[in-house]
Structure 1
Amino acid sequence: MTNEIKPPLWILLELTHKCPLECAYCYNQLDFTNTKDAMSTKDWFRVMDEARDMGAVQLGISGGEPLLNKDLVKIVEYANNKKFYTNLITSGVGAPKGIVKKLKEAGLKTVQLGIQSHDRNTMTLITNNKNSYDEKIAFAKEVKEAGLQLIINTCITRQNIHQVGEIIEFADELGGNYLEIANIQYYGWALKNINALLPTQEQLDEAKKVTDFYRSKEKAMKVFFVVPDYFADRPKACMNGWGTTFLTINPDGVALPCNTANTLPLEFPNVKDFSIEQIWNESHAFNYFRGDSWMNPTCASCDEKEKDFGGCRCQAFALTGDMNEADPVCSKSDFHHVVTDKVAESLGTTDAKIWYRNRKNSLELSS
């Protein structure tokens, strides 16, 4: 496995962790209230300058909810002038009037919109926001009227997995160019809520069949089905390998090699203190899991290590307490039983409390 450091290709700007929704599967850390919006618009401009100079070409803009940033149009316009391909990742809720048209004029290329269900009550249950259904539908229509590409993302949970067929048809009716049926990654709030969210293997198999049936119709909308971690025997190659492709910047300026890396016991650099080039090439945290010298014997001796790179470091730490362990999703891991035990516990629980992602719960869980 090579240790050659290639430049980042995909940059994600997390403009804020504020959000009008309270989704129980959010990947933001449980103590997100400790993360402040400390980056000025000029700071974001400088990050884009430095990342583009290194060769980055894709720019995602997310949160929290990026629509809450008053300078969002300026940020998109600046990114477009830097020749980034821009993608807005949004809930579509709380959108200022006329914002979609302004974003299109500023050069935005793609909108990725979260749609939890075709059904109003189910969407309200998942988002804990009674206005989310109407606002999301209105936002999707504005996106299509503006001529932007629309990617719809649906996170699959126990609450909506039986609706996959209807959700596919609904996404098609909304004019989606792509639909990602995303099985949840159980970090952060999702891991806290796993006993309320995890579907059964049988439900997942049926959802996959429904998805494949739609694909067989060869309609214009492309549908992707993300395989669930907890029912696999091999881990995903998270982020195409640590520090190889992806770089995210938190609202407080902390740079991370993946969205949830700040859950690890590593000290990550801040873009206010270091350049993107210094962070990417020289920081201890970004170099820590590059190559295979960090691997324990299970991963180091595996003939698939250049395929999955040992799996997800955040998942390994969350489930074993050791970030250097093999991803417990892998059947070769000494801790694979932790995953199977969690599945058994979750599926045996029918009345689990849902901890919605909000300030009150964040403060309680992080106190």
Structure 2
Amino acid sequence: MPFDERPFLVFWELTRACLLRCAHCRAVAQLERHPGELSTDEGRRLIDALVDLGRPRVILTGGDPLMRPDFFDLVDYAVRQGLSVSVTPSVTPKVTEDVIRKAKAAGIARWAVSLDGATADVHDGFRGVPGTFDRALRLLGWLKAYGLPAQVNTTVTRRNVHQLEAIAERIADYDIVLWSVFFLVPTGRARMEEMLDARETEAVFARLYALDQTMPYAIKTTEAHHYRRYVLQQKARELGRPASTLSFQAFAQRKRAGQGAVDDGIGRAPDGLRDGAGVVFISHIGDVFPSGFLPVKAGNVREAPLGEIYRRSPVFRALRNPDGFGGKCGVCDFRHICGGSRARAYAVSGDMLAAEPTCAYIPPAWTRRIAEQKAGGAR
């Protein structure tokens, strides 16, 4: 799927207001809403713009989108315009059984629940509010009862990496469609020292790959695009074929040999999807970014049409050209499938086109380049 003309996923941050105090919050959420948030009318106009962009999949996020009193008005308008709308509200007392019932009736495609630990002490330590762990499990039970497709989001850091298998088992009984494992990007409140290094990340890839063979739901990674490389390498070994002949998307759609494609409610992401290439983020005040984790502003929907920003911004155009990436990413044989986390590259180096800092793979072309440079220096 070409991403030059239209995005695949649109994240819209309705507000930065939230009742939680999450240690890794990229939005640095506050208790009160910002007075400059897009109004309801501006929100409807943005939804119209998304229709013109070919109806990409829309994720309403925050902060906590339920902090906006017009939340369901905007959902209703978007669904009536034919958009697939998923939501990622915070797990607070605002989420009641009645809200889930109303969300199901409104036609919400998926509700994401954050669970960052297999135990209350780890999860509540992340979220900064006691009781959030129990509330999250209760919410998953409601979603299952009302048949509203549920996704679990887990952010992997040094404080919870030891609990991944336990989290996977904990959520297996709730009929979720997807476990999205976020790899920390040190932006917002997230700290660099909580981020896994390349060796630790590769070890987590192996664990996720093993879990994907047995869990009853799909598993994907967020801001760990190099997991696609890992999966293709493993499948190539198993099939005795070159990884270059395989499609990550095809394998992501199949759970085990002999089983059909997994329908996770909104379809699986195409190969090459990443920040700015198929992904766009609109902030609570209308600023447009490649993603919520990559704070390089490309424009504002109050000043220019979203489609124009997405198609013509130098920021987005650069991110859609993996041949222009720096370091080993720019010559990697998996660059058009992966491309690395541009957000993490920016957070670590200040350059969104720099090499992915948590990838352990050394491309053959990079090895040759280093050897040539050493040989040239020795003359």
Q: TM-score, normalised by structure 1?
A: 0.74
Number of the residue aligned with 1:259: 292
- Contact 2:221/2:227, CA 8 A, preserved across alignment: no
Q: Deviations over 1:21-67 (max 9, x none)?
A: 22222333699999765211111111111111120331111111112
Q: Does 1:115 align with 2:104?
A: no
- Aligned to 1:261, the other structure's residue is in SS state coil
> What is the correspondence of 1:69-80 to structure 2 with a 5 Å cutoff?
69-80=68-79
What is residue 362 of structure 1 aligned with on the other side? none
Q: CA deviation at 1:251?
A: 0.3
Query: Is the 1:7–1:244 Cα contact (8 Å) retained in structure 2?
Result: no
| Structure 1 vs Structure 2 CA RMSD | 3.9
8 A Cα contact 1:317 1:323, kept in partner: yes
Match of 2:169 in 1: 169
Retained in 2: the 8 A contact 1:65–1:90? yes
Query: In the alignment, does 2:15 pair up with 1:16?
Result: yes
The 1:321/1:209 distance shift into structure 2, 3 A limit, reads closer
1:164·1:211 contact (CA, 8 Å) conserved in 2? no
The amino acid of 2:156's aligned partner reads: I
Matches within 5 A, 1:184-203: 184-189=183-188, 192-196=190-194, 198=196
Q: Deviations over 1:163-214 (max 9, x none)?
A: 333322221233423323x252323146x523246489579748954872x5
Instruction: Tell me if the contact between 2:17 and 2:34 (Cα under 8 Å) persists in the aligned partners.
Output: no
Change (3 A) 1:273 1:235: farther
Identify if the C-alpha distance between structure 1 residues 322 and 245 changes in structure 2 by more than 3 Å, giving closer, same or farther: closer
Most deviating of 277-286 and 231-240:
231-240
**1:280-334: per-residue Cα shift (whole Å, max 9, x none)?**
223333334333575458655554443334x33332332223334333345669x
**Counterpart pick for 1:284 among 314, 317, 333:** 314
Go from structure 1 to structure 2 and tell me whether the alpha carbon gap of 1:54 and 1:74 turns closer, same or farther (over 3 Å shift). Answer: same
Task: For residue 179 of structure 2, give the secondary structure of its aligned residue in structure 1.
Answer: strand
Number of residues paired by the alignment?
324
CA contact (8 A) 1:9 1:58 kept: yes
After superposition, where does 1:91-240 map in structure 2 within 5 Å?
91-97=90-96, 98-180=98-180, 182-189=181-188, 192-196=190-194, 198=196, 205=203, 208-209=206-207, 212=210, 215-217=212-214, 221-224=216-219, 226=221, 240=273
Is residue 161–residue 203 contact of structure 1 (8 Å, CA) maintained in 2? no
Question: CA separation in 2, counterparts of 1:62 and 1:99?
Answer: 16
Query: Runs of 5+ in structure 1 lacking a partner?
Result: 337-367
Q: 1:205 to 1:143 in 2, by over 3 A?
A: same
| % same residue | 21
Partner AA of 1:132 in structure 2: T
Extract unaligned runs of 5+ from structure 2.
232-269, 367-379
Match of 1:59 in 2: 58
Whole-Å separation in 1 of the counterparts to 2:205 and 2:315: 38
Change (3 A) 1:106 1:13: same
Q: Is the 8 A contact 1:92 1:113 kept in 2?
A: yes
Q: Which amino acid in the other structure matches residue 308 of structure 1? A: C
Q: Residues of 2 paired with 1:85 and 1:268: CA distance?
A: 25
CA distance in 2, matches of 1:320, 1:202: 20
Query: Aligned in 2, Cα 1:48/1:225: closer, same or farther, shift over 3 Å?
Result: closer
Q: What does the per-residue CA deviation read over 1:96-141, in whole Å, with 9 as the maximum and x for residues that have no partner?
A: 5421111111111211111122322222212111131232223222
SS at match of 2:336: helix
SS state of the match for residue 59, structure 1? strand
1:270 — aligned with what?
Answer: 300
- Sort the Cα spacing of 1:177 and 1:277 in 2 relative to 1 into closer, same or farther, 3 A: closer
Aligned partners of 1:108, 1:3: CA distance in 2, in Å? 27
Higher RCO, Cα 8 Å, sep 6+: 1
Contact 1:157 1:184 in 2 (8 A): yes
Q: 1:109 to 1:231 in 2, by over 3 A?
A: closer
- SS of the aligned residue for 1:281 comes to helix
Determine the C-alpha separation between the residues in 1 that align with 2:301 and 2:223. Answer: 33
8 Å CA contact 1:30–1:189 kept in 2: the answer is no
Q: 2:6 matched to 1:7?
A: yes
Q: TM-score, normalised by structure 2?
A: 0.72
The offset of 1:149, in angstroms, is 0.6
Q: Structure 1 residue 279: deviation in Å? A: 1.5
Cα distance change, pair 325–206 in 1 and its aligned pair in 2 (3 A): closer
1:320 partnered with 2:349: yes
CA spacing shift, 1:244–1:165, aligned 2, 3 Å:
closer
- The answer to whether 1:306 aligns with 2:336 is yes
Deviations 1:62-117 (A, max 9, x none): 11111211111111111111111111112322325421111111111211111122
Farther-moved stretch of structure 1 (118-127 vs 228-237)? 228-237
